[in-house]
Homo-oligomer: A and B are copies of this chain.
């Protein structure tokens, strides 16, 4: 059933039927009713390929998926996707994932924009002076950055959490508890979120005349194994930290294992605070010693990004407003006063 057939059986022109269905004003209300009714009864659904050729609108949100045999999409992505999908579903939006070589995503952004394959895109895991953000900005397609870049000479719309503030609070608490030697087990420090977190820790330490020692900061991909290695390295050195801030729950698993292997205890020998993106399958309160966290649902962020993208597509949102969400500091058993 296509428009032509439908309009034939209604003895109306395609124009009128199309307008009736799309809510244009220049059509008699009774006619509209008839049309809508007939469309529903015959299960008419406009062909999206045709519509998209005619209008350029696709009803899709785009995302360039970095791939490569050495590239692992991290589990945060799926959580973000849950939120995004949840919103998208209720607004008849689909998601187009375009896999791209992780080292050359720009080509793919160019392609999907030039081809009008999507109405909007989002960018995640931005780095400082992120070229994707710059590119997408000049291409003129609606977009939202999940996270922030830095050092770009223009403003852009983003949704981020207050990583610096979160880790500032965490470190401040540890300092207040008497800790003098803090360490940070961070994610990849080429990404902005990691830089912000480190900045937060340093700022908190500086406020008490302390510094984050040269060997007291690690930046690694957020795996259990890397958490373990980093913790071993930190805890076996002569000026081992008495408290660690950790960028991920998964890394924290490794930290806990290292502490145990070394015959130490939490929080007796080491206080630990980790960032929790709120996974359904791994909860900080269930660690053998319940883990204190800086907590922010990445899933909610996904829903929010989808919401803003939808608003931008329909012209309800404009401009370069960035929003920064506060992060909760949740205290549990893994922190205590400094030993000794």
Contacts and interface: CB of A to CB of B under 8 A. Distances in A.
A124 to B, nearest CB: 13
Q: What copy number does this chain have within its complex?
A: 2
Nearest to A108: B89
Contact of A99 (B47, B89, B286): B89
Contacts of A225: 283, 286
Interface residues of A, number: 62
B78 A65 contact: no
Contacts of A283: 223-225
Interface stretch (A33-41, A113-121, A206-214, A330-338): A113-121
A74 interface: yes
Nearest to A288: B257
Contacts of A60: 96
Contacts of A250: 281-282
Nearest to A62: B94
Contact of A280 (B49, B223, B279, B281): B223
Interface of A: 45, 47-50, 52-53, 56, 58, 60, 65, 67-69, 71-75, 77-79, 81-82, 85-86, 88-89, 93-101, 111, 114-117, 221-225, 228, 250, 253-254, 257, 260-261, 279-283, 286-288
